[in-house]
A and B are shown apart, each in its own frame.
Chain A
Amino acid sequence: MTLPHDPLSDQPTTPTSPGGWNDPSRALITPDDPADAPGSGARAGAGRRRPADPVRELMHRHHDLCARAVDPLEIAAGLEAHGVTDRTAARFRHRDVFGLAEELYARVPRAEESAAAPAPRPARGTWALWPLPGALCAATAWAVLRPDLAPPAPRAAAGAFGTVLVAVALWLCLSRGPLRIAGRGRGGWLADLAGPLCLGWLLGYAACGDWLLTGLVTGERGAYDPARAAGTAVVLALAVAPAAGCARWFALRARRRLTGSRGVGEFATRVRPLFALTALGFLAALAPLVLTARLVLPRPPAGSGPGSVTTVEAAVAALAALLFLARLLAVHGFRGAAVGGLAAACAVEAVVEVTALAARLPGAAPLGEPVARLTAAHGAAVVPAAACAAAALGLLGYACAVLSRASAHGDAPGAPGDGTSRRGPHRADGTHPAPCEAPQ
């Protein structure tokens, strides 16, 4: 019987199958030193000439580990993970691995940190969704408001269908990407409840508040004009795209400043202009949106000339700005402030409505005098315009102070630290300590 592998030869032959080798097997076969006899492969290492300083070889082999280490214990842990034991350390004239690690730590120069690593870019791909709500909303409004297009019943059906589509698109845009609010429950249940309430009030007021106010002040109820509500909806839906773009740009630039800045103060001074640019950019983007809405809607609101901006449109723009700032603050973890801003605008609007209502009571007519004068001079839309603009200005000031803090930009997705899922799909309330009794 002949074996292909001669048992008398010390030297294994070349492998015929790929990948059957690792370092020890290579060390067995290839002589490290040409001075070694080629036949004594198995004794490689034993016959190798050793340098006078044995630690130098170890330094060379574990150079990366030693250069990166922040203290000797880290080197000790790394050496042990590579199979270095106290017995090995004794060969280097050390009592244990810790002593050896200390010598290595002292002798290997620390590696200088390379230039700041580029900030992780957020996931791409969601931007294609951003214009979707605006486009859907504009199409729906256009279809609904054209009486010559179809009989009322199909138009109503198209309106309902379009509304659902817009809602889905909005949810898609707001639940991911730069407008996603990461941590739930930062403001407690009150903020959780108050936010949607305020939002609902503001939208509702934008839809029919002016009509109600006019009726209350003048005492005669005119016909409700859906074009006003549709215009607001179209502008707000269109504004999702610039809002997401601005928020993303701001978050990205701020994160870059974060890795580049050496101090918290330096970071703040570098982020403040960034925030101003973001806010200005959003405001600048609102103007073409208003014009687009004007083009889309078949019946432009009464009194709007081609070059002038009406009070109604100013109110819509103010509302959009307020909502953008509130969302930006909420995204960066200041839900309380965001809800506060919305609530302030709601309160102003509600006070005006209630005053106008109270003025109709017998003997309380003087109460309604200022409101009546204001609406007579500038139209009913001046109320939401002023309320939202004031609240937005307040939020702007607050955000400028707060968003220039480093801690506002901490919750970076993909930040190192926990490999676990930060966006845990299970149980949002699992973050709270949940005491539970075991079954007895």
Chain B
Amino acid sequence: MRVGLLTEGGYPYATGEALVWCDRLVRGLDQHEFEIYALSRSAHQEAAGWTGLPAQVRRVRTAALWGAPPARRVGRRQRRRFAEHFAELAAAIASPGAGEPGTGHLADRFANGLHGLAELALDLGGLSAALRSEDAVRLLERACRLPGAAHGAQQARVADLLTVTEALERALRPLSLDWYGPFGLARVDLCHAASGGAAALPGLVAERFFGTPLLVTEYGVRLREHYLADHPAGPADPARSGAPRPTPVRTLLTAFQGRLAAEVYARAALITPGNTHARRWQERCGADPERLRTVYPGMDAARFAEVGEGGERGDGAAGAGDDGRTLVWVGRVEPPKDVVGLLHAFAEVRRRRPDARLRIIETRRADAPVEPAGEEDYPARCRALAAHLFPDEAVNAHTVGDNPVSFERLGEPGAPSLPEAYAAGGVVVLSSVVEGFPVGLVEAMFCGRATVSTDVGAVCEVIGGTGLVVPPRNPRALAEACLALLRDPARRARLGAAARARALELFTIEQNVAAFRGIYLELMSHCPVRREEVGEDGAPLPFALPAEAHIPGRWTAGRDGDGSGHRSADPAPSRGAQEHTPGWAVPVSREALGVGPVANHLTEEGV
């Protein structure tokens, strides 16, 4: 079957996000054909080129979400149509919904406007000129002056309106692409959007025009990223500089993103959040819980197998590298990781266990680019604090001393690789105050290490009882937990083994790929794309599908079939009057399943 993978600033570009995941997915599902539809975010990204693509990627089409729009003239009739649809969209954006986005009448107006624009874009071949025209500005202005408009929208000035129309033009640019032709998304059996937002727009259009089922995978919720990008103090993107955008612009664009997310969630056949946190956001944005299925990201367990298995071999005691007094922290030294809190906690540990040691292993390479402003001295500050809290110490008066806290970089002789870094201590500590999906924690679990982590992000969900969890910003609790584990080697080994077992079950690549394999097949069978059958010469083939194929329900069920799609050669000779009712005319009581010739045919065609 043919899968359209929709990405934005992602997969085929070498600098894209979620690159590794997409690559593994495509390589893992080599029985399907993939067509990649990628939107690039910047000239820089396009210049960086693509990553290597496996053979099952049959086609890659790209478009830019940046730069000047392609021009196309708009006729008078089309301008009227455009005005009608854009006015609806603008009204839905400018007026706050009743409660959260995704409910009630306004969502429908947004959807109507969006799909109207999509149809117009398909007819016209491009909407960019219309979206940047004076008409669009005037329509948006009128929508902002409506009685029910949001307070922020009513304050909009002309410059704000211009900024919003330009941003809308960029956001809606996927509608104007030439991806919806007969050799584009029209022949795809399933659209898999690798993120929400702009990447899901082509999927929405395909769902609308061709009935292609849409699968949305979000490891980070796009809407939330949109909020954080506007939030100058947000730690998610400290590199972003410049003045904050004016309130009217933020009001309108936020409303657009929110309603777009609601529409995507409403239209998607299935949504797969990467963790519970994303799931909560999606539910909040109007996703139907029945169509949410959490699929944890997969990570390469093989790298850690040696260390992890070695840990399990130790009977009751600790594994290799565990000397019973060393704590390991692995990650980037950044303010959200709260290394200062870790040092304070370690001070507490040292008071009870004077022989304890802490190894802080930085994963950032030495030749990494210059850190963004504001945190350029954070590692230095941490080193200074460590040197201040823990002076160098030696065994006796004649030996050279060293510090109980060591700062190392990954790749140095002490910790040449990631598994060895985790194996360097008995307890792995995670001290973050902000965390999304804790990759480092999962790696530690793969290594079979006992962990102490703070309750942030998806930590609880990941660790699930196979490690200790303490509140964030609580060095004393962190110290207590570390001490408890340092004192008890058997518990360390037990927790480590349990953590490794849990990680192997939940967070491997195989698990992830198998989940998506199942989801693809399930979507295929539940929502097959119905297309007109085409003969060898390209002409429509009448009666290629029996009429029953379009009837929801199991048309093969009934007494004159054996229940598996084969009709009996000769029906039973005697029937009751009621039995003369054809199978498809019986009221449908089961869930609509598209089994039968349609699904079979499509599978043959697609694979």
Q: Which residues of A are in contact with B by a Cβ distance under 8 Å?
A: 1, 3-5, 7-8, 12-13, 15-22, 24-25, 28, 42, 64-65, 68, 70-71, 73-74, 77-78, 80-83, 85, 87, 96, 98, 110-111, 113, 116-117, 119, 182-188, 255, 257-264, 266-267, 405-412, 415-422, 424-427, 430-440
Contacts and interface: CB of A to CB of B under 8 A. Distances in A.
Interface-centre pick from B67, B157, B224, B433 (highest chain A CB count, 10 A) = B67
A420 B66 contact: yes
B28 to A, nearest CB: 18
A111 B247 CA distance: 9
Contacts of A83: 433-434, 456, 472-473
Contact of A410 (B12, B166, B382, B391): B166
4 interchain residue pairs of minimum CB distance: A424-B43, A20-B384, A420-B42, A183-B68
A249 B224 CA distance: 41
Contact of A5 (B36, B258, B389, B472): B389
Interface in B10-45: 12, 36, 41-44
A12 B347 contact: yes
A84 B335 CA distance: 15
A433 B177 contact: yes
Contact of A258 (B69, B159, B236): B159
Contacts of A21: 340, 381, 385
Given A68-B247, A409-B162, A416-B163, A20 B388 contact: yes
Nearest to A15: B388
A435 B61 CA distance: 5
Interface string B473-486: 10110000000000
A336 B63 CA distance: 25
B119 interface: no
B519 interface: no
B471 A17 contact: no
Interface string B165-182: 111001000000111000
B132 A410 contact: yes
A416 B249 contact: yes
Interface in B217-275: 223-224, 227-228, 230-231, 233-236, 240, 242-251, 254-255, 258
A186 B132 CA distance: 12
15 contacts: A7-B354, A12-B389, A20-B387, A20-B388, A25-B385, A68-B244, A73-B285, A110-B151, A263-B141, A407-B136, A415-B163, A420-B43, A431-B67, A431-B69, A433-B63
Nearest to A183: B68
A435 B62 CA distance: 6
Contact of A78 (B161, B231, B244): B231
Given A24-B338, A258-B162, A73 B223 contact: yes
B41 A65 contact: no
Contact of B158 (A12, A263, A439): A263
Interface in B312-361: 335, 338, 340-341, 344, 347-348, 350-351, 354
B157 A420 contact: no
A258 B173 CA distance: 25
A77 B68 contact: no
B247 A410 contact: no
Interface stretch (B50-58, B109-117, B190-198, B417-425): B50-58
B137 A71 contact: no
Interface string B124-141: 000000001110111001
A4 B234 CA distance: 39
Given A8-B351, A20-B388, A74-B231, 13 more contacts: A73-B224, A113-B246, A113-B248, A258-B157, A259-B159, A267-B158, A421-B43, A432-B70, A433-B178, A435-B178, A438-B12, A438-B36, A438-B60
B141 A24 contact: no
A262 B160 CA distance: 10
Contacts of B63: 433-434
A73 B258 contact: yes
A437 B71 contact: no
Given A73-B258, A74-B231, A417-B163, A264 B137 contact: yes
A149 B270 CA distance: 85
A408 B134 CA distance: 8
A113 B162 contact: no
Contacts of B96: 71
Contacts of A12: 347, 388-389
